[in-house]
Chain A
Amino acid sequence: MTKFYLGIDLGSTTSKAVIINDEDEIIGRGITNTRANYKVAAEIAKMEALYDARFTLLTKKLEDEIGARVEFKRYINDIRAVFQYLEFRQRADRLTDELVKTAGNLRSQHRDRVVEVVRNIMDTIIPDIRREFIDNNLGETNQFFRDIISGHYNEQVARVDKELFELLMLTFDKSITPVENELISFDFKKLVHESMRILEDKYKGLAGKSATGERIDFDVELNLLKGNYQDVEDTLRQHINSIADEDIRIANMVGTGYGRALLPFPEDCIKSEILCHAFGAHAVFPNTRTVLDIGGQDTKAIQVDSHGLVTSFHMNDRCAAGCGRYLGYIAAEFNISLNELGPKALESEREINICSTCTVFAGAEVRELLNIGEKQSDILAGLHKAIVMRAVSLLARSGGVRNEFTFTGGVARNQAVLKYVKEMVADSYGEEIKMNIHTDSIFMGALGGALFARRNIDIDLPEKKKKVTRVTNEV
């Protein structure tokens, strides 16, 4: 039986899980927001990674068929999205109950109205969110339960009587945390079969829609499914069943990240995130010599040798101004989502200089700049530049950038940050420095953990031993 290995990276903002197989290939990824409860976050990330692994295994199994029939791929993508919706739905139903309960306990003359309004709100937003998941693959945007729900909830609250505003927000704040921290277990097989039923409806509906000449007509894969979804479903059902029944056994696991000490793992299964990020980055880009990881509240500059072993590292101390949280804070200041920050900053024609030493002060600076009429995009560009300047200074203190340079962490997904990192690294260390960024950047720590888990002991790779011996002899 194939063995699988799990790495969990409990960051300050997000918790990530990665599952690899015996060949060090990533087969499952899971990510969730790190709540006040690390254990739940770890468990949810792990669960997500396990579901993801099943879908990956399914895709792998069907590799040949998918090559021949593109609609299979589309079907699997769709089923994933619906599956995510069903997970979301169970938690959303829990939230509805909790909201009603909280509202019912309010000591206010408006109590009964609040109960009614929260019910109505949930009745309105859940179908909206359902559509987003099923028609537009909301799941791919990596938004977490809290973000999705609160975005829609706030929109609705804005529409109701102002008098109820405070009470509605209070009800939400009191209800979301217990629901978020609840571990809800899902039956994969049940959920996946329900997903198939929902898809059946979706594809059936397509037939009607196409007649009205909607743009769906131009989607080749969907058109193919429209005609023969029944056939596809029948063909896949067996595979899906076998994947759902497959016993994915985690042979070993390693935990890392800020909350690693809280993981219920034995001591030798807990590893420093410095080592994990370096090992993960090195596994993906074997020529990496310098790793920069910008996480939620720490930035790490790591130097590694040819085996992926850390030779030295530097971390920010005392202030998180060079980290992801800075961006989160700024997004809140501008009242925009974190995902919009980068694209908006890239629209800038002239970035404004912003002091990068303190996150909280930057907030005051932003308001002042807005007051004097500076453009949002220019301010945002300046803010992005400021955090990168701090990161680059940390890189310098850690010994500089050596070829190749790999950028990891959640912040690496932000295009504006990328732009400034590229510029500044090229500026300080030369254009010829090769810079690596991977779509899995945010998972590098968890990947490193999983790789360590597979090796069980730190570096016990026969081929590495050989390499080291050779190198040493040369010296």
Chain B
Amino acid sequence: MAEIQNKEVTKEQSMIIQKEMVSGLFKDLATAKDTGKKVVYTFIPGNLSELIRAFDMLPVYPEINALQSGMRKKSSGYIKEAEKYGHSEDVCTYVKCDIGMMLNGNIGPTGEKLPNPDLLLLSYTGCFTFMKWFENLGRLYPGVPVAMIHTPYQENGRITAEMTEYMVKQLKEEVIPKMEKISGKKLDEEKLKEILRNSAKAEDLIVKIFDSTKHRPSPIDAYFAGVYYIGPINIGFRGAPEAVKYYEALYKEIQIRIENGQGPITPEGEMKEEKFRLVVEGPPNWTSFREFWKLFYDKGAVIVASSYTKVGGVYDLGFRHNPDNPLESLSEYCMTCYTNLNLPQRIALLEKCIRDYAADGYLTNSIKSCNSFSAGQLMMMRDLEERLEIPVGFIESDLVDPRYFSYSNIKNRLESFFQMLEQRLLINESVLN
């Protein structure tokens, strides 16, 4: 993921560590068949990366590959390939991009071939499409076992003992036995506990990092840069000592930025003037990621919190992986992922972000092909608008299908949104003076 940080920007320590982690992982994946390492395909929401790591297996995240393909301008071809294969125009474009990539030889983001899966670990967390996705992968890789863990939705906004019990049972009876069979190892509980300890450390740090946006100017952008910061956790390094090292380095760098009163780093260098502070709901567009980001930093808009960086886990409400209750905490982790929260919970979380980070505006990026995010987005926006009297904006794009990114439409709406915020700020100023 580090590769798209701009060359003009001097590489910070954290970026170097991140780059090493990423290239190391893809090298391991490319040589997995030779080294005999087993490969697990799984999803970011509700990812059981600690378990995978405990068995010394390697994770592959199709969403990550899809978004990388989007950034490297390959998704359009992959999507067409998947449509030729029979997938409709309305299917999630992560799915189509992923399937198209596999049909095209499964060359990963680093240009190295990705190994075939030894296990399809279907963590069904908040997104119905996941099930269909792995059904398709099941067909593409006949004979590869599927282990499914079903995460019960937090419909009533709380986790009951029964829900946890239900998940632990699945881990014990479905997921762990299959992992043991494929890896040929018994689960090493001590090893898992050590990994979970590291996870908790990384989570502590990531919370502090994302909390730094309460400073003015905010030292980081919690959406466009946030997806890089959350990267190591989301590609399977949660629980790895390297991740702890990475987040320590990153946290230190951010501390320095705060001391120096510096704004966030953008692909064109440091953002000079912070004019608007935003909370953003919904995934970013990946095919025009740079142009999309530029529309914000050019106008001095910094994102102080985003829901998308919470899809792989919500840590700012206190949840930590817990070595004392490994399976229970893995279960709880899955159930607290953003897309598994009910709408009132999501609203409450966003409200907390808006208040804690003193946001001037709330923006929804509605994704054409993402049902799990789009459902309820408007209702959430209205609710926040009424509750907080915060100016709100709504734009539409897509994950990795470039056909649904209309630069001029988005620019036009964002310009209006920023001018709207500007008016509001002027009014507020005149009230204060």
Contacts and interface: CB of A to CB of B under 8 A. Distances in A.
Tell me, yes or no, whether A binds B: yes
Interface of A: 258, 271-275, 307, 309-315, 317-318, 397, 399, 457-460, 464-465, 468-469, 472
A273 B419 CA distance: 10
Nearest to A396: B378
A468 B430 contact: yes
B420 A275 contact: yes
Given A399-B382, A468-B431, A457 B420 contact: no
B283 interface: no
Contacts of B424: 309
Given A273-B416, A311-B391, A458 B396 contact: no
A459 B431 CA distance: 12
A296 B389 CA distance: 31
B426 A317 contact: no
A275 B423 contact: yes
Contact of A307 (B404, B413, B420, B427): B427
B200 interface: no
Contact of A459 (B396, B404, B427): B427
A312 B391 contact: yes
B396 A317 contact: yes
Given A318-B396, A468-B431, A458 B416 contact: no
B422 interface: yes
B419 A275 contact: yes
B3 interface: no
Contact of A458 (B389, B391, B412, B422): B422
Contacts of B420: 272, 274-275, 309-311, 313
Given A312-B391, A317-B396, A317-B409, A459 B423 contact: yes
A208 to B, nearest CB: 58
Contacts of B413: 315
A365 to B, nearest CB: 21
A275 B422 CA distance: 11
Given A275-B420, A468-B431, A459 B391 contact: no
B409 A458 contact: no
Interface string B388-419: 01011110100000001010010011011001
A312 B392 CA distance: 5
A254 to B, nearest CB: 11
B416 A275 contact: yes
B242 interface: no
Nearest to A473: B431
Interface string B267-304: 00000000000000000000000000000000000000
12 contacts: A272-B412, A273-B416, A309-B420, A315-B409, A315-B412, A397-B378, A458-B423, A459-B423, A464-B427, A465-B431, A468-B430, A469-B430
A468 B393 CA distance: 23
Contacts of B422: 458
Contact of B406 (A313, A317, A397): A317
Given A273-B416, A275-B416, A312-B385, A472 B431 contact: yes
A460 B431 contact: no
Contacts of A397: 378
Nearest to A475: B389
Given A307-B427, A312-B391, A272 B382 contact: no
Given A273-B416, A309-B420, A460 B426 contact: yes
A258 to B, nearest CB: 8
A399 B413 CA distance: 17
Interface of B: 378, 381-382, 385, 389, 391-394, 396, 404, 406, 409, 412-413, 415-416, 419-420, 422-424, 426-427, 430-431
A312 B394 CA distance: 9
Given A274-B416, A317-B406, A318-B396, A309 B423 contact: yes
B178 to A, nearest CB: 43
A307 B412 CA distance: 23
Contacts of A307: 427
Contacts, number: 72
A317 B403 CA distance: 13
Contacts of A315: 409, 412-413
Nearest to B366: A317
A397 B423 CA distance: 23
Contacts of A310: 391, 416, 420, 423
A272 B416 contact: yes
Contacts of B430: 459-460, 465, 468-469
Given A318-B396, A468-B431, A469-B431, A313 B426 contact: no
The listed residue with most A CB atoms (<10 A of its CB), out of B409, B413, B427, is B427
Q: Which 10 A-B pairs have the closest CB atoms?
A: A272-B416, A274-B416, A465-B430, A310-B420, A317-B396, A312-B392, A272-B419, A458-B423, A309-B423, A472-B431
Contacts of A469: 430-431
A429 to B, nearest CB: 15
A65 to B, nearest CB: 43
B430 to A, nearest CB: 5
A272 B378 CA distance: 23
B419 A271 contact: yes
A314 B394 contact: yes
A312 B393 contact: yes
A102 to B, nearest CB: 34
The listed residue with most B CB atoms (<10 A of its CB), out of A317, A397, A460, is A317
Contacts of A459: 423, 426-427, 430
A23 to B, nearest CB: 23
Contacts of B416: 272-275, 310, 313
Given A318-B396, A459-B426, 15 more contacts: A258-B412, A273-B416, A274-B420, A275-B416, A309-B420, A309-B424, A310-B420, A311-B392, A312-B381, A312-B394, A315-B412, A318-B404, A399-B385, A464-B427, A468-B427
A318 B419 CA distance: 23
A397 B377 CA distance: 11
Contacts of B391: 310-312
B385 A311 contact: yes
Contacts of B431: 465, 468-469, 472
A202 to B, nearest CB: 48
A428 to B, nearest CB: 16
Nearest to B385: A312
A402 to B, nearest CB: 12
Nearest to B409: A317
A414 to B, nearest CB: 25
Contacts of A274: 416, 419-420
Nearest to B420: A310
Contacts of B381: 312
A272 B391 CA distance: 16
Given A309-B423, A312-B391, A468-B430, A272 B406 contact: no
Contacts of B426: 457-460
Contacts of A312: 381, 385, 391-394
Contacts of B378: 397
A303 to B, nearest CB: 9
Contacts of B394: 312, 314
B391 to A, nearest CB: 6
Contacts of A458: 419, 422-423, 426
A15 B304 CA distance: 39
Contacts of A399: 382, 385
A314 B393 CA distance: 8
B278 to A, nearest CB: 14
Nearest to B390: A311
A465 B385 CA distance: 23
Nearest to A278: B420
Contact of B415 (A272, A317, A468): A272
Contacts of B409: 315, 317
A401 to B, nearest CB: 14
A275 B381 CA distance: 20
A258 B416 CA distance: 12
A162 to B, nearest CB: 43
B432 to A, nearest CB: 10
A311 B416 CA distance: 11
